[in-house]
Amino acid sequence: DAGITQSPRHKVTETGTPVTLRCHQTENHRYMYWYRQDPGHGLRLIHYSYGVKDTDKGEVSDGYSVSRSKTEDFLLTLESATSSQTSVYFCAISDRETQYFGPGTRLLVL
Amino acid sequence: AQKVTQAQTEISVVEKEDVTLDCVYETRDTTYYLFWYKQPPSGELVFLIRRNSFDEQNEISGRYSWNFQKSTSSFNFTITASQVVDSAVYFCALIVSYNTDKLIFGTGTRLQVFP
């Protein structure tokens, strides 16, 4: 299995609070991704990174920001959480051939 | 625009039956990659197969096989002699831009295999 961990694995928060999800890899891969999974939508790309300090938006980036100060860590921040951001969040890394996914973070925004 | 369609939302079979999961994709690119992932009830996403657009050979891995047909833009997945452990949601996905490797997912097919 690819060495990817996500923290926290579960989180309950209130509307309007900031939330940061962490993705950590031990594979030294350049590319990292954040997706959200919602019923009826499959997985949708939020943001991705193609190197330290190099990030770009995906198809559902509104309300999210990311940072990557080290190769191994990719942070996803919800500046002010809303109920529509209740979802399961997956981090992925790529060896340029295949994306491998972390275990996911289940986020509930009340 | 790129798109992946998995028209079968849910399929139920009895153990030992063969089952085919359909995947139809849309892209104007000539170079692309197709994937299947499995999401068991535990929630993780497990990579099953990657196929590039220049390789139309069918692939077989144990009870799993994949049929890639560019003429119909399809990349179908067949499980032979299904087992209860095959119960999961299966996602088909497409990458069209190798520089950024952004995956485009279908909405998934939930397979339930009953004993």
At B10-29, the pLDDT tens digits run 999 999 999 999 999 999 88
pLDDT, mean over chain B: 93
Q: Quick check: B101 contacting A, CB < 8 Å?
A: yes
Q: Is the pLDDT of residue B98 over 90?
A: no
Q: Is the pLDDT of residue B38 over 80?
A: yes
How far is A16 from chain B, CA to nearest CA, in Å? 27
Amino acid found at B23: C
Beta strands in A8-104 (DSSP E): 10-13, 19-25, 31-38, 42-51, 54-57, 64-70, 73-78, 87-94, 99-101
pLDDT, tens digit, for every residue of A35-83? Answer: 999 988 889 999 999 999 999 999 899 999 999 999 999 999 999 999 9
Residues B89-113 have a mean pLDDT of 87
Which residues does residue B37 pair with via DSSP β-bridges, in sequence order? B47, B91
Give the number of other CB atoms < 10 A from CB of residue B24. Answer: 16
Q: Give the pLDDT score at B102.
A: 81
Looking at chain A, how many residues does it have?
A: 110
Facing residue for A41 by CB, picked from B47, B103, B107: B107
Contact A72, A24 (CB under 8 A): yes
Strands A105-109, A10-13: pairing is parallel
Picking from A36, A37, A89 by the largest number of B CB atoms within 10 A of its own CB, the best residue to mutate is: A37
Q: Give the pLDDT score at B16.
A: 97
pLDDT, tens digit, for every residue of A4-27? Answer: 999 999 999 999 999 999 999 999
Q: Is the pLDDT of residue B115 over 80?
A: yes
- Residue in chain B lying closest to A39 (CA): B107
Amino acid found at B54: F
Q: Give the pLDDT score at B1.
A: 78
Facing residue for A97 by CB, picked from B37, B45, B50: B50
Q: Give the pLDDT score at A2.
A: 62
Q: What are phi and psi of B86, to 5 degrees?
A: -80, -10
Q: Give the pLDDT score at A63.
A: 95
Facing residue for A42 by CB, picked from B44, B50, B108: B108
Q: Is the pLDDT of residue A1 over 60?
A: no
Buried b (16+ CB within 10 A) or exposed e, A26-45: eeebebbbbbbbeeeebbbb
Residues A92-106 have a mean pLDDT of 92
Q: Give the pLDDT score at B57.
A: 84
Picking from B45, B89, B95 by the largest number of A CB atoms within 10 A of its own CB, the best residue to mutate is: B45
